[in-house]
């Protein structure tokens, strides 16, 4: 039976998450809460762990995975360039449900990038997710805890019901209050492109950076980023 680690998201000792962080570091796949829905976490630099995540979800190889990072300092490990537009959006919305697509570093597994040349990253505002990334000591994957095409899991019980013993550990941080995903913006080029509107609307984005282009259902074609990520 998959171990379930229960924590109080409003009042908890980060040390309680050490077992979850250790599972990620040794190549495992875990589930954990975010400010959107539950996500599947793995080491993005471990190609076997990334492929296992895809297999668990039945996810198409053309769709990339979002990464949770600790902050801007982690960007040097996963991205080659951070535009001024990206920095303005980070300052306005991080930590929070905004995913930014940047030019990817060459050291990342191709499977992680969905065959593209960009990487999607964000800093979570959920205390459990943030503490987990801190304990891992670097980025972890953040793809919604559900088989592709199915509704995302919003509780540890839903994760367990879907994946059974297929994952190594589940962090139970209470049910999520909102099933809207993060907003995804491609800032790898000269103009920001909205790939997915989630918890942050286009009006809020444009208040920070001016005009934002809309991909109009081309999310899977631009950097491999589409739905199915929290």
**Average pLDDT by stretches of 10, the chain with 230 residues:** 89 88 97 94 96 93 92 94 96 97 92 92 96 96 93 94 94 85 94 95 97 70 50
The answer to whether position 214 is within a domain reads yes
pTM of the full structure: 0.91
Helix (H, G, I), strand (E, B) or coil at 214: strand
CA distances from 205 to 141, 176, 180, 193 (A): 24, 24, 17, 11
* Sign of the alpha-carbon torsion through 67, 115, 148, 46: negative
Q: Provide the domain limits for residue 119.
A: 4-221
- Residue pair 144/228 in contact by the 8 Å Cβ criterion: yes
How far apart CA 78 and CA 44 sit, in angstroms, is 10
User: Length of the chain in residues, anyone?
Assistant: 230
pLDDT at 182: 93
Residue 48 CB neighbours (<10 A): 12
pLDDT at 219: 39
149 Rama sector, left if φ>0, alpha if ψ -120 to 50, beta otherwise: left
The answer to whether position 226 is within a domain reads no
The answer to whether position 229 is within a domain reads no
Q: Which of 142, 215, 136 is nearest to 182 (CA)?
A: 142
Tokens matching residue 1: 């039976």
The answer to whether position 87 is within a domain reads yes
pLDDT at 227: 47
Residue 161 CB neighbours (<10 A): 10
The answer to whether position 156 is within a domain reads yes
Which residue's entry shows tokens 């969905």? 114
pLDDT at 216: 66
Bridging pattern class, strands 193-196 and 213-214: parallel
How far apart CA 131 and CA 14 sit, in angstroms, is 6
The answer to whether position 22 is within a domain reads yes
Tokens matching residue 172: 């139970």
pLDDT at 33: 95
Residue 84 CB neighbours (<10 A): 9
Our count of domains for the chain comes to: 1
Question: CATH code at 207?
Answer: 3.90.870.10
The answer to whether position 228 is within a domain reads no
CA distances from 3 to 47, 166, 167 (A): 24, 11, 9
What is the widest separation between alpha-carbon atoms in the chain?
50
The answer to whether position 230 is within a domain reads no
Residues contacting 71, CB < 8 A, separation 6+: 94, 123
């Amino acid at each position: 039976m998959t171990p379930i680690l229960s924590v109080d998201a409003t009042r908890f000792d980060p040390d309680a998450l050490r077992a979850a962080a250790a599972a990620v570091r040794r190549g495992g796949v875990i589930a954990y809460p975010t400010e959107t829905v539950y996500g599947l976490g793995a080491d993005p630099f471990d190609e076997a762990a990334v492929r296992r995540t895809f297999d668990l979800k039945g996810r198409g190889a053309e769709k990339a995975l979002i990464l949770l990072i600790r902050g801007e300092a982690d960007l040097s490990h996963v991205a080659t360039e951070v535009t001024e537009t990206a920095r303005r959006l980070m300052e306005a919305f991080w930590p929070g449900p905004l995913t930014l697509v940047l030019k990817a570093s060459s050291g990342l597994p191709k499977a992680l990038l969905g065959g593209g040349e960009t990487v999607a990253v964000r800093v979570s505002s959920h205390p459990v997710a943030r503490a987990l990334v801190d304990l891992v000591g670097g980025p972890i994957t953040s793809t919604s805890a559900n088989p592709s095409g199915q509704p995302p899991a919003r509780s540890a019980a839903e994760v367990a019901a879907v994946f059974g013993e297929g994952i190594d550990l589940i962090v139970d941080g209470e049910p999520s209050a909102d099933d809207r995903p993060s907003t995804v913006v491609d800032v790898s080029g000269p103009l920001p492109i909205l790939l997915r509107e989630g918890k942050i609307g286009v009006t809020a984005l444009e208040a920070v950076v001016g005009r934002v282009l809309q991909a109009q259902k081309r999310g899977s074609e631009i950097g491999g980023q589409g739905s199915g990520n929290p």
